[in-house]
């Protein structure tokens, strides 16, 4: 198992973990680009959104619900935040384990891209 996010999920590699449950784990991005920058990953190794099957709708739902939980924990629910899921080569996905970026704590650039 060479996946860095699998290792953070299992505890083999330390991460600043904020939330864990049956389906997902959330930890701080090691290279934050916003005052609050958290990654939410499925505990199960899924390479990207493309790897989610209909049978894993519970995981997909847990990922989205964790976004809301993280926003509350980070105190950015009211001020707002941006959610990004880079996917594949054109999406500049660097880590091949599905992850949701939650970015907040300051106004984001108005435009995407
Ligand atoms: P991307 O695959 O481009 O959506 O982004 C991968 C993100 O993972 C980057 O923002 C990295 O800073 C972050 N990252 C890579 N390794 C670690 C790690 N060991 N702990 C926390 N974040 C990481």
The per-residue pLDDT for range 25-75, each reduced to its tens digit, is 999 999 999 999 999 999 999 999 999 999 999 999 999 999 999 999 999
Whole-model pTM: value is: 0.97
Return the residue whose CA atom lies nearest to atom 12 of ligand 1: 31
How many angstroms does the Cα of residue 95 sit away from the middle of ligand 1?
Answer: 6
Q: Determine which one of 23, 97, 99, 101 is catalytic.
A: 99
| Calpha distance 101→22 (Å, rounded) | 19
Task: Outline where the chain has alpha helix (H).
Answer: 4-10, 57-74
Q: Quick one: which of 80, 90, 83 has its CA closest to 63?
A: 83
User: Tens digit of pLDDT for each residue in 71-91?
Assistant: 999 999 999 999 999 999 999
Phi, psi of 65 (to 5 degrees): -65, -35
How many angstroms does the Cα of residue 106 sit away from the middle of ligand 1?
Answer: 20
How many angstroms does the Cα of residue 50 sit away from the middle of ligand 1?
Answer: 19
Return the residue whose CA atom lies nearest to atom 15 of ligand 1: 30
């Amino acid at each position: 198992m060479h996946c860095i996010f699998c290792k953070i999920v299992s505890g083999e590699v330390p991460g600043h973990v904020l939330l864990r449950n049956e389906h997902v784990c959330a930890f701080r991005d090691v290279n934050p680009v916003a005052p609050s920058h958290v990654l939410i990953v499925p505990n199960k190794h899924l390479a990207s959104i493309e790897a989610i099957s209909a049978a894993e709708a519970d995981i997909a739902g847990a990922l989205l619900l964790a976004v809301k939980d993280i926003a509350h924990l980070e105190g950015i629910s009211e001020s707002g935040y941006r959610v990004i899921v880079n996917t594949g080569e054109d999406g500049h996905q660097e880590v091949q384990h599905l992850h949701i970026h939650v970015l907040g704590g300051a106004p984001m650039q108005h435009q995407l891209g």
